[in-house]
Structure 1
Amino acid sequence: MSPYLLSLAVVLLVSPGVAMAQQADNASTSATSSAELPTQKQHLDTLFSELKHTGDADKAKEVADRIRLEWQDSGSASVNLLMQWAAKASESNKQTIALDLYDQAIALAPDYVEGWNQRATLHYLMGNYRKSMSDINHVLMLEPRHFGALAGMAAILTSSGKDELALRAWEQFLAVYPADRKAQEQFGEIEEKLAGNRT
């Protein structure tokens, strides 16, 4: 199947599901607007505070997982559906379709952090580091505490031989998520390498 037909097939597949999901969006918006619940931002602020002050790595991981769950919910059934389809396409090595779906999710919800982050991850896996970094920068403009995006940035900078910038990215990561052992190790390794280069 030609790439044009493939993308057309994706649009045709997506359209009915998105229309149904958009109807669900409208219904859920009217149902929840009257309820006085904490906003997602307030909930995230509480979780990030907990993450910053949790010294135990296992407990911190639980908090980080709760933050990831919050990020997954775009607040739109349409966008959530597109993200699920994109993730499945990516897992099935259908990167072009996955990119198409992420593009649509971002077009529908340009302020949805995880849309940009997941597309950045896919670009990274495809070796498109420049595009990945561009999306990461967008993620960090929307959510400077996005530890996943900071880790991705550090990985790209390390693979590009920009160790000092990678060290700064890990510093920012650890300021948000100080109990992450892998980040601590990465930070320590780069710090040692840079110290060795200076002597």
Structure 2
Amino acid sequence: MIDPCVTLKAAFVALACSYATFSAAQEAESAPVDIPSDAPDVLSEDPQVLLDMLASEADPAEADRLANEVLERWSRSGSPTIDVLMRRAADAMSREDWSRAIAHLTAATDHAPGFAEAWNKRAEAFFMAEETGMALADIEQTLILEPRHFGALAGLGIILEQLGEDRAALNAFRRAQEIYPAEQNVSGAVERLEAVTGGRTL
């Protein structure tokens, strides 16, 4: 659950970390995952099938694995050039060099406007740089390209709550919760905002 005493910016970082950043880890060797022998072969599934599975998965550990599989697929640009830009942006974000990250991600969105994850990561960088309007515009574009992007929806909820739009924020968090119901940060945000708004959305 997101602690209401924690700043929204810190909550945004916590959510981003909980969803993991794959672009910075693509060059590192991945540790083997212990998957039961009777587990479904999700490696052969596309993101939409995985998202369907995620929406009905109640076990937190399995839901986390499915979410990470989705994120891994969303991180695949299909272009070595875009992959380099995404890694450079991730490195800049790890140093809190938001302007450099935004520059790399702008190059990525210019060269691959259909790659949703570049827009999503630039939204994060804009938010951290306190460019809220630009962050919202990039979240909108992310959701046009990938309507079930649970990270973008959670980020939208956090920004709307920061702007005092509690009902709209609750709506965004509920949409994220429908896609990824086992995510505790989002569930906590829904509970908190339901108490504030009486459960009413727009």
Per the TM superposition, whether the score is higher than 0.5 is: yes
Residue identity in the other structure for 1:141: I
> Following superposition of structure 1 onto structure 2, how do residues 146-165 of structure 1 map, counting pairs within 5 Å?
146-165=149-168
Moved more, 146-155 or 168-177: 168-177
Residue among 138, 143, 157 paired with 1:140: 143
Partner of 1:8: none
Tell which structure's C-alpha radius of gyration is larger.
1
Q: Give every structure 1 segment of 4 or more consecutive aligned residues whose post-TM-superposition deviation is greater than 6 Å.
A: none
Partner of 2:104: 101
Residue among 99, 105, 116 paired with 1:113: 116
Describe the superposition over 1:83-106 as per-residue Cα deviations: whole angstroms up to 9, x where unpaired.
001111222232222111111111
SS in 2 for 1:150: helix
Residue among 182, 192, 196 paired with 2:195: 192
CA distance in 2, matches of 1:162, 1:61: 29
Residue identity in the other structure for 1:82: L
Residue identity in the other structure for 2:144: M
Partner of 2:85: 82
Tell me the number of residue pairs that the alignment of Structure 1 and Structure 2 aligns.
157
Pair 186,196 (structure 1): closer, same or farther in 2 beyond 3 Å: closer
Residue among 129, 132, 155 paired with 1:129: 132
Gaps of 5+ in 2: 1-42
Whether 1:73 aligns to 2:76 is: yes
Whether 1:173 aligns to 2:176 is: yes
TM-superposed deviation, 1:196: 9.4
TM-superposed deviation, 1:184: 1.1
Residue identity in the other structure for 1:111: G
CA distance in 2, matches of 1:74, 1:162: 34
Residue identity in the other structure for 2:164: G
Q: Is the 8 A contact 2:89 2:101 kept in 1?
A: yes
**Greater RCO (CA < 8 Å, at least 6 residues apart):** 2
Partner of 1:4: none
* Identity between Structure 1 and Structure 2 (%): 31
TM-score norm. by structure 2 comes to: 0.74
Q: Is the 8 A contact 2:99 2:129 kept in 1?
A: no
CA distance in 2, matches of 1:97, 1:190: 34
Residue among 44, 49, 58 paired with 1:55: 58
Describe the superposition over 1:139-166 as per-residue Cα deviations: whole angstroms up to 9, x where unpaired.
0000000000000000000111100000
Residue identity in the other structure for 2:142: V
TM-superposed deviation, 1:64: 0.5
Residue identity in the other structure for 2:81: S
